[in-house]
Amino acid sequence: MSNTQNLFNKVWDLHAVKTLESGQDQLLIGLHLIHEVTSPQAFEMLRDRGLKVLFPERTIATVDHIVPTQNQARPFEDNLAEQMMSAIEKNCAEFGVTLLDVSDDRQGIVHVVGPEQGLTQPGMTIVCGDSHTSTHGAFGSIALGIGTSQVAHVLATQTMALGRPKVRQVKVNGELGPGVTAKDVTLYIIRKLGVQGGVGYAYEYAGDVFDRMTMEERMTVCNMSIEGGARCGYINPDQTTVDYLRGRPHAPQGEAFEKAAEWWLSLASGPDAEFDDVVEFDAADIEPTVTWGITPAQSVGVSESLPAVSSYPADEQTLIKEAYRYMELEENQPIKGQKIDVAFIGSCTNSRISDLREAAKVVEGRHVAEHVKALVVPGSQLVRKQAIEEGLDKIFIEAGFEWREAGCSMCLAMNPDKLVGNQLCASSSNRNFKGRQGSPTGRTLLMSPTMVAAAAVSGCVTDVRELSGAATA
């Protein structure tokens, strides 16, 4: 491997089987994660052609999108959800694929489960029929969301055809201020580069801000890469990565782990690595961030007012006006003080134990505003168990939150957790598209878990830094 190669190109070349006539590369896929929504049709494609899953040991299934987070008794009340659950149970049994279902204490959101089980490792190629597969890039892997037909292709061949994207290094250096989290960093990057800014690129996140982040914070950043248009995002493996993976169920053990760790670290982009583009940001410019519109790029710092329509290029102003109409907001109004109806802490972006710990610090000794419905949904059964062991469930319940079972929940409209009418939700999830949270007129404000917690107890968008004892670094 050349000293001028960045990690992305190193890993790509290591997995390239051959270059196809189309100009695409056929890549070997190291890990295939599947779930109940995008896999049923893929398995049917295999049956129709008389094919088997080529490497079932490289395929892991879990259930998350349609799983109820309150009543999980079978059959599920939602008939379609029950059909999807039955289908993945049947398919995994028939094709020899390991399934982490609701009766398995390893079950949870696919992008939470992979890392916590040690399935996600540096230098891998990872795919899943889900947009936010980029989460796994936090470990220094190439992690890509794919479509249903591609899911079938990977099941059958353990490869897929891909065009190599360019690589952009996104550097953030300096010190983050109090109350500024990984979620704020990624929302800021998307705001600055736009939802189309990453099209045709993989993002390498670099700089001392990412170097100092925990693995769970890095996962939050990489998770949102797709929202900025990037094909994927990654962070170079370092000692933080190694320490996180040590001892996890599917990570190498003993001497094999030490050898693996040495190789993982060798994959990192070196000082002479070349990139197709480099952008730099100053950490001091980032504050707690809130989206106000219908794309993740439409955001402001919590101390800012909403932008004037005239501040946008002429060809973007129609979308901005549409966003203001849909969100029932007005240009130049402050986002701080905006009344909310629902507060949601969860999703593959922000439902890990560190997210719950920080949110609990904000709500402890406080209570959810009378008019607000607030819920906390752990990202996996293991996260939920750990939170209970630490007493976090009691803190949330005493504060007036609903404490739920693991699942995707209110991030998307595929389970019973949905907005009603034009409710406005402070959400720690990743998408604020029209209707995303279950109501065609429901409205979403994306923010960090601590900002959601602050909004829940205040009843409106609040600067978490102003709540006594709630500011976090």
Return binding residues for [4Fe-4S] cluster.
Answer: 348, 408, 411
C-alpha distances (whole Å) from 347 to each of 100, 226, 242, 332, 449 are 18, 15, 25, 30, 10
Distance CA 200, CA 166 (A): 6
Name the residue type at position 110. Answer: V
Are 371 and 457 a contacting pair, CB within 8 Å?
no
Binding annotation: 348, 408, 411
Distance CA 116, CA 348 (A): 12
Q: Burial of 312 by CB count in 10 Å (0-12 exposed, 13-18 middle, 19+ buried)?
A: middle
Are 179 and 468 a contacting pair, CB within 8 Å?
no
Q: Burial of 351 by CB count in 10 Å (0-12 exposed, 13-18 middle, 19+ buried)?
A: buried
Distance CA 32, CA 29 (A): 7
Are 309 and 321 a contacting pair, CB within 8 Å?
yes
Instruction: Report CA Rg, the chain.
Output: 21
**Joined tokens for residue 71:** 């009543």
**Joined tokens for residue 107:** 């079950």
The DSSP result for 300-325, as a single string, is EETTSBPPPGGGS-GGGHHHHHHHHH
Q: CB under 8 Å to 318, separation ≥6 — which residues?
A: none
Q: Burial of 440 by CB count in 10 Å (0-12 exposed, 13-18 middle, 19+ buried)?
A: exposed
Strand duo 16-19 + 25-28: pairing: antiparallel
Distance CA 227, CA 140 (A): 19
